[in-house]
Structure 1
Amino acid sequence: MGKADADGPGLPDLPPEWGRVVVPDDIAALADEAEQIRRELRRTAADQRRWRPPAAPVIVLIVAVLTTLAGLAAVTWPRASRTGPGATTPDPTPAQLTGRPLPALDLVDGGQSPVPLRGLLPVVVLLVDGCACPEQVAAAATAAPAGVTVVSVAAARPRAAPPGVRALADPAGGLRAFLHLPASQDGVTALLADRTGRITLVVPEVTSIADHHAELSRLAN
Structure 2
Amino acid sequence: MGSLGDNGGNWPGDGGSPEGLPDLPAEWGVIVIPDDLSELSDEVTVVRAELRRERTRSRWQRFTDRPGLRVLRRVGSASLRAPVLIISMAVLVTIASLFASAWPGPARSPATQRTASTTDEGSGKLPALDLVDADHRTVSLRAQLPAVVLLTDGCDCDALIEATTAAVRPEIAVVIVISGKAPNPPTAQTPPTSNTPQAQGKTVRSLRDPTSELRSTLELPAKNDGTAAVLLVSRTGEIVRKIPRTASLGDYEPDLARL
Q: TM-score, normalised by structure 2?
A: 0.46
Q: Deviations over 1:110-133 (max 9, x none)?
A: 111111011010011000112131
1:122–1:149 contact (8 Å) kept in structure 2: yes
Aligned to 1:82: none
Structure 1 residue 207 displacement after superposition: 2.6
Pairing 1:184–2:223 present: yes
Q: Decide which of 112, 119, 126 is 1:102's aligned counterpart.
A: 126
Pairing 1:146–2:135 present: no
Aligned to 1:171: 210
1:102–1:197 contact (8 Å) kept in structure 2: yes
Structure 1 residue 135 displacement after superposition: 0.8
Does the residue aligned with 2:207 lie in a helix, a strand or coil?
strand
1:127–1:188 contact (8 Å) kept in structure 2: yes
Pairing 1:125–2:146 present: no
Distance (Å, rounded) in 1 between the aligned partners of 2:232 and 2:136? 24
Pairing 1:159–2:189 present: yes
- 1:201-216 alignment runs, 5 A limit: 201-216=241-256
Distance (Å, rounded) in 1 between the aligned partners of 2:140 and 2:127? 10
2:229–2:243 contact (8 Å) kept in structure 1: yes
1:121–1:148 contact (8 Å) kept in structure 2: yes
Pairing 1:218–2:258 present: yes
Residue type of the alignment partner of 1:208:
S
Distance (Å, rounded) in 2 between the aligned partners of 1:118 and 1:126? 14
Residue type of the alignment partner of 1:139:
A
Residue type of the alignment partner of 1:138:
E
Larger Rg: 2
Does the residue aligned with 1:182 lie in a helix, a strand or coil?
coil
Moved over 6 A (4+): none
Identity rate of aligned residues, in percent? 40
User: Alignment length, in residue pairs?
Assistant: 126
Residue type of the alignment partner of 2:239:
I
2:123–2:242 contact (8 Å) kept in structure 1: no
Question: Cα RMSD (Å) of the superposition?
Answer: 1.7
Structure 1 residue 139 displacement after superposition: 1.0
Distance (Å, rounded) in 2 between the aligned partners of 1:208 and 1:95? 17
- 1:32-71 alignment runs, 5 A limit: none
Unaligned 5+ runs, structure 2 = 1-117, 183-187, 199-203
Distance (Å, rounded) in 2 between the aligned partners of 1:148 and 1:125? 10
Distance (Å, rounded) in 1 between the aligned partners of 2:223 and 2:161? 15
2:120–2:243 contact (8 Å) kept in structure 1: no
Structure 1 residue 138 displacement after superposition: 1.2
Structure 1 residue 214 displacement after superposition: 2.1
